[in-house]
C-alpha cells in the first residue's frame, strides 16, 4: 500500500489534524500580516470557529482596499499552493483523481464536504465556515482553496461559479489545468 492509499483510506491522528489546523492559521495570519489566533487546547470545533472568526475579522480590516485585498489573496494562494505541493510530493499525487481525493480528505478535517468529478467540476456541498463568513470573507479566503487545489493537482485555476455565502445551496467551482496534462 502506498502512502497516498493510506492517507486516503485511514484517518489522520488527532494531533496531526491539530497541527494542520495550526499551520493553516499561521499561513493565513502571515498573509494578513498579523499573529495567528491562539488555538492551543481547543477541540476541533472550537478551533475551526476561532479560525473562522479570525479570518472574518481580518477580511473586514482590509475591506474597501482593493490593492490590499488582492495582495492578501495572492499571499494566501501562494502559501496554500506551496503547502499543498509539499503534500503532493510526499504522497506521490500524479493525477487529478488522486489530487481530488487528497483534497476531499483535507477539507473533511476542517468541516467542508467536497467532491470532484473527473472533468474537474468541484462541489462543496456543506461548509462549516459558511455560518461565519460574509460573501466578502469567502471570496478573499477562497484563495486558499485555489492554492490548495492547484498545489495538489498541478498548475491550474479553480474558478467559483456559486457560493453558499451568497445564498447558493452549495459552492460550485471548476478546476482547469493551465497546460494540457499527459
Q: How many Å apart are CA 63 and CA 65, to the nearest integer?
A: 6
pLDDT tens for the 182 residues of the chain, in order: 677 766 767 676 676 777 888 889 999 999 999 999 998 888 888 889 999 999 999 999 999 999 999 999 999 999 999 999 999 999 999 989 999 999 999 998 888 999 999 999 999 999 999 999 999 999 999 999 999 999 999 888 899 999 999 999 999 999 998 766 55
Q: How many Å apart are CA 64 and CA 68, to the nearest integer?
A: 9
pLDDT at residue 2 in the model:
78
C-alpha count within 13 angstroms, C-beta hemisphere, residue 37: 20
The total number of structural domains in the chain stands at 1
Residue 171 lies in a domain: yes
pLDDT at residue 180 in the model:
60
Range(s) of the domain holding residue 103: 3-177
pLDDT at residue 174 in the model:
95
pLDDT at residue 80 in the model:
96
pLDDT at residue 154 in the model:
86
pLDDT at residue 1 in the model:
65
Kindly report the CATH number assigned to the domain that includes residue 92. Answer: 3.30.1380
Residue 182 lies in a domain: no
pLDDT at residue 20 in the model:
82
From residue 44, alpha-carbon distances to 39, 40, 49, 68, 145 in Å are: 9, 11, 9, 30, 20
DSSP state letters, 16-71? HHHHHHHHHHHHHHHHHTSPPPP-TT--HHHHHHHHHHHHHHHHHHHTT-HHHHHH
pLDDT at residue 181 in the model:
58
Residue 75 lies in a domain: yes
Q: Residue 46 CB: number of other CB atoms within 10 A?
A: 11
Residue 169 lies in a domain: yes
- Alpha carbon 122 to chain centroid, angstroms: 13
Residue 28 lies in a domain: yes
pLDDT at residue 182 in the model:
54
Residue 118 lies in a domain: yes
Positive or negative, the Cα torsion across 92, 97, 100, 104?
negative
Amino acid at each position: 500500500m502506498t502512502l497516498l492509499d493510506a492517507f486516503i483510506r485511514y484517518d489522520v491522528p488527532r494531533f496531526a489534524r491539530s497541527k494542520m489546523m495550526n499551520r493553516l492559521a499561521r499561513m493565513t495570519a502571515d498573509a494578513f500580516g498579523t499573529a495567528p489566533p491562539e488555538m492551543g487546547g481547543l477541540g476541533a470545533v472550537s478551533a475551526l470557529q476561532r479560525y473562522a472568526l479570525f479570518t472574518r475579522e481580518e477580511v473586514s480590516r482590509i475591506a474597501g482596499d482593493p490593492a490590499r485585498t488582492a495582495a492578501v489573496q495572492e499571499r494566501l494562494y501562494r502559501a496554500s499552493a506551496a503547502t499543498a505541493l509539499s503534500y503532493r510530493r510526499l504522497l506521490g499525487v500524479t493525477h487529478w483523481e488522486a489530487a481530488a481525493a487528497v483534497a476531499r480528505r483535507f477539507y473533511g478535517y476542517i468541516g467542508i464536504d467536497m467532491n470532484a468529478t473527473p472533468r474537474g467540476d468541484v462541489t462543496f456541498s456543506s461548509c462549516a465556515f459558511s455560518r461565519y463568513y460574509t460573501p466578502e470573507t469567502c471570496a478573499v479566503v477562497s484563495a486558499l482553496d485555489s492554492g490548495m487545489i492547484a498545489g495538489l493537482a498541478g498548475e491550474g485555476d479553480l474558478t467559483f461559479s456559486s457560493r453558499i455565502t451568497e445564498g447558493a445551496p452549495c459552492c460550485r467551482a471548476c478546476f482547469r489545468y493551465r497546460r494540457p496534462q499527459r
